Structure 1
Amino acid sequence: MDKYNATGRVKKAIDIILGLLFIALLGYSFTGAPFHEVAGIVFIAMTIIHNIINIKWYKAIKKGIYNRKRKIAVAVNFALAADMASILLTGIINSRYLFHTGIHMAGIGRIHAVLALAGFVLIAFHVLVHTFGRVQKKYKVLPAALVILISLLAVLMDVWLLPYVKRHFLTVEVDQETAISGESVDFNGRKILTVYFTRVGNTDFADGVDAVSGASLLLNEKKEFLGNSQVIGQMIQDAAGGDIVSINTKEHYPSSYSDTVSAASEEMGRQELPELVDMPENIDGYDLVFLVFPLWWDTIPKPVEAFLNRYDFSGKSVIPVVTHGGGGAGRSIEDIKAVCSGTVVEEPLEIYCGDIPYCREQVTEWLKGL
């Protein structure tokens, strides 16, 4: 009896840990990529242990009568196993820290997220099928348990799914002047150049641009598109002074966000640098260069690499500012240093894209520390 109770307690502990880990994994946008990857490996390991402890279920799968409830339970379990395997595979491909496969697949992050949400639903059914029947028999609280489960699902969708949809599929309206204006920071007469790259100015947006095309974009009071990096660049210029330049490509990116992701992946695969236009002849007169860019495929976009290859940065300090959706700076700083060998490349400022319209104070405090 003691052995049975001990095993039962271990099962419950593992199930609780799995539940908490999965909730934390769904909060990727809040926890960041390093924690997400480590927690994901721990979750998979705990899932394997969960299945080993419940090995009797597999041994009995060919025995007994299959009523409707059992058929549903088996279907849910195998669907959940397939989903977990797919999450692991897409997670490894999309890994930025623990695994370096070198594979770039357009949309793999989004597929991983959809599989995770499907996994949440399957886990809810798994718990319902395997647990609530016993709870109802002993405590007569199945209706209440269902209400709790549905409420929990609704809360999680509100906390994690809706912010994800807003970040990836909707534009955010901001007052441009209010967003960029704030306290000034004195750089003791050093000449400052702020350079930014964004989709705005490098994309021919279709009329009535769809929601997907609005990903990573802001909308000002005149209903004009603003790029995330553009807004950050304007914040830096407003605070530090100096000049500001946008990186412009001759060939523009597609209007659709998903097509832009694919185009960027193809650029990475070809190792080609795009041709830049309307750029300054040189940047000889500057001491500090703030380089603002979005994280694309875990590194600097190819137009940013083209900019770095175009000019001589000797005697200057390059200060990267990375906008991201949860991946931090990725390997972008290492890649900048590789291109600008012999140049001082400072530690980056990393800004989560959802914070960009409201991060002027954060930018100011960071500038004060330079």
Structure 2
Amino acid sequence: MERRKLLGLITAGAASFGGLLAVNAQNSSASDSLEIPVNRSSRPIKRGNKTLVVYYSKTGRNYPDLELTVGNTARIAHFIHARVGGDVFEIVPKRPYPVDYDQTVDQAQREESQNVYPAIKEMVPDTDPYSTIFLGHPVWWGEQPMVVQTFMRDRDLNYGTIIPFVTHEGSGFGNSLDVLDQYYPEARVLDGFSARGTDVYDNPGAARRDVNAWLEGLGF
């Protein structure tokens, strides 16, 4: 699939692969944690009625100099699941990303520029029973890590409801909402959540309150 390079929505307070893309970042306020993609709420849903939280999150060495046993995006995913219930699937690369931060940055850039789709370690669940899928990831080089795009390539989420959430260090959603639209042009996409990874790390309690307020606004 050819992935267009899009302008993207760059706003404040979302999370990314720590500092991975300072080149894509804009100055932002940590309090502006919500971004609103195109809401295609009038499109039909032709799926089951279950909820699934899908996410990829990096542990180990992260920006700026953090050693994470629980990734920042994983924390957001757990907060979502605690409120909405349903099932959870963590996207784990079959070949882990390097422990070294700079090596991971380089690998992520190569994967994106060469359209490399890394294999996922565990079998990806059948998504047909799920009418609502929360899809979360850090923003790497302005979009979804390619291992997340492996999931997106292999599972058709059209005619369902997708709710994106991301972590970043200044880029907000970057181009990830446009990439999402390319994979799933018929999906119903609701308002997404974004937070700076360092904010999630420094104050997870505040991040959880922000997540709950966002979910309440969506009716969860």
TM bin, normalised by shorter chain, reads 0.7 to 0.9
| 1:46 equivalent in structure 2 | none
Given the alignment, which residue of 289, 296, 304 partners 2:133? 289
Question: How far apart are the structure 2 equivalents of 1:366 and 1:242?
Answer: 18
Question: How far apart are the structure 2 equivalents of 1:194 and 1:281?
Answer: 11
Matches within 5 A, 1:320-339: 320-339=164-183
Structure 2: gaps of 5 or more residues: 1-9, 13-21, 27-47
Change in CA separation of 1:233 and 1:284 when aligned onto 2, cut-off 3 Å:
same
Matches within 5 A, 1:66-215: 94-95=23-24, 190-200=49-59, 213-215=61-63
Structure 1: gaps of 5 or more residues: 1-32, 36-92, 98-188, 206-212, 220-224
Question: How far apart are the structure 2 equivalents of 1:190 and 1:301?
Answer: 28
Instruction: Give a deviation string over 1:244-263, Cα, whole Å, max 9, x none.
Output: 11002112111111110111
Secondary structure of 1:252's partner?
coil
Question: How far apart are the structure 2 equivalents of 1:95 and 1:353?
Answer: 15
User: Contact 2:95/2:119 (CA < 8 Å) preserved in 1?
Assistant: yes
> Which structure carries more strand by proportion?
2
User: Are 1:303 and 2:151 an aligned pair?
Assistant: no
* 1:366 partner letter: W
* 1:314 partner letter: N
| 1:354 equivalent in structure 2 | 198
Structure 1 position 365, deviation (Å): 0.8
Question: TM-score w.r.t. structure 1 length?
Answer: 0.44
Secondary structure of 2:70's partner?
strand
Which is higher, the Rg of structure 1 or of structure 2? 1
| 1:237 equivalent in structure 2 | 81
Report the RMSD for the aligned CA atoms in angstroms: 2.3
Instruction: Give a deviation string over 1:277-319, Cα, whole Å, max 9, x none.
Output: 2133411111110011001001111011111111121321111
Identity of aligned residues (%): 31
User: Contact 2:57/2:71 (CA < 8 Å) preserved in 1?
Assistant: yes
User: Contact 1:218/1:227 (CA < 8 Å) preserved in 2?
Assistant: no
User: Contact 2:24/2:174 (CA < 8 Å) preserved in 1?
Assistant: no
Question: How far apart are the structure 2 equivalents of 1:281 and 1:335?
Answer: 22
Question: How far apart are the structure 2 equivalents of 1:313 and 1:229?
Answer: 21
Structure 1 position 266, deviation (Å): 0.8
Secondary structure of 1:193's partner?
strand
Question: How far apart are the structure 2 equivalents of 1:334 and 1:198?
Answer: 21
> Which structure carries more helix by proportion?
1
Secondary structure of 1:342's partner?
coil
User: Are 1:369 and 2:217 an aligned pair?
Assistant: yes
Instruction: Give a deviation string over 1:53-111, Cα, whole Å, max 9, x none.
Output: xxxxxxxxxxxxxxxxxxxxxxxxxxxxxxxxxxxxxxxx92568xxxxxxxxxxxxxx
* 1:198 partner letter: S
Change in CA separation of 1:34 and 1:243 when aligned onto 2, cut-off 3 Å:
closer
Higher RCO (C-alpha 8 Å, min separation 6): 2
User: Contact 2:11/2:173 (CA < 8 Å) preserved in 1?
Assistant: no
Question: TM-score w.r.t. structure 2 length?
Answer: 0.72
